[in-house]
Amino acid sequence: MDADHAHDIHVRDPLRASSTIRSALAKGGRGTGNLSYVYGPKVNRDWIVASDLELFHFVSLEGDPEVASYDLDTQRIVAFLDREGHVGSKPDALVRYRSGRVEMVEVKYAKDLEEDARAQFQVAAQKQAASQVNASWRVFVEEDVQSRERWLQDWLDIVVAMSEVRFQELAYERREVLHLARQRKATELRRLAQVVDSEWAHVFAATFRLVQAGELDSDLLTQPLSWATTVRQRQ
């Protein structure tokens, strides 16, 4: 993969879901309007995400170096709400951070949170369940995408590129990239391509696996992905 062409890489068009998948998603309380099949390099798992909003939430977890691991196929929870009785809900993600904090996440469009009574009951049940296991809770809405749209698009390209070499070991490339980063205050992707003796697709994937693992920092929050993207050893 050529870094100059990273933005030309797009995920495949959502596939038509089988009736079995649609039924399973419906039982979990999810819509089935726009399915995407994705690979998560951080946890080495394939996932099905049921909307564009869920797709970008998945990307946000992959790109956040503070996220150690996550699960997009969580267990259904049941909580007792005084007036509504027992309410069942399935959070869209269970996230574990490097700090040790655990978080439940519900991915919902803001309009649904405001107008859909069922969604509001789901939120109440999840908040109660989270408090009982000493976990935090939050909702991911379209505003979260809009506030970091360029960063999310860059990480979507990165995740796709990483999926193309998912079966490669990359131990040599990771070691060489980390060694070079330790020698210099900041290293551009173009220099990594010049110095590390390996296929660029492997070097690129190894570099961003190190970013995901919290061993390197990148400037992607402030600068778009390009040959000038820099990485440095995390302090």
Going residue by residue through the chain, which has 235 residues, state the pLDDT in tens, using 9 for 90 and above.
444 444 443 333 333 334 444 454 455 554 545 788 899 999 999 999 988 899 999 999 999 999 999 999 987 755 545 565 555 677 889 999 999 999 999 999 888 888 777 777 777 778 877 877 888 989 999 999 999 999 999 999 999 999 999 999 999 999 999 999 999 889 999 999 999 999 999 999 999 999 999 999 999 999 999 999 999 998 7
With contact defined as beta carbons under 8 Å apart, do 177 and 206 qualify? yes
Residue 207 and residue 110 share a domain: no
Total domain count for the chain? Answer: 2
Residue 23 and residue 71 share a domain: yes
**Does residue 156 sit within a domain?**
no
Final residue of a structural domain among 99, 118, 146: 146
**Does residue 44 sit within a domain?**
yes
Residues 6+ apart with CB under 8 A from 228: 188, 189, 190
Question: Which structural domain range is residue 173 located in?
Answer: 166-233
Residue 177 and residue 79 share a domain: no
Q: The domain that contains 18 carries what CATH number?
A: 3.40.1350.10
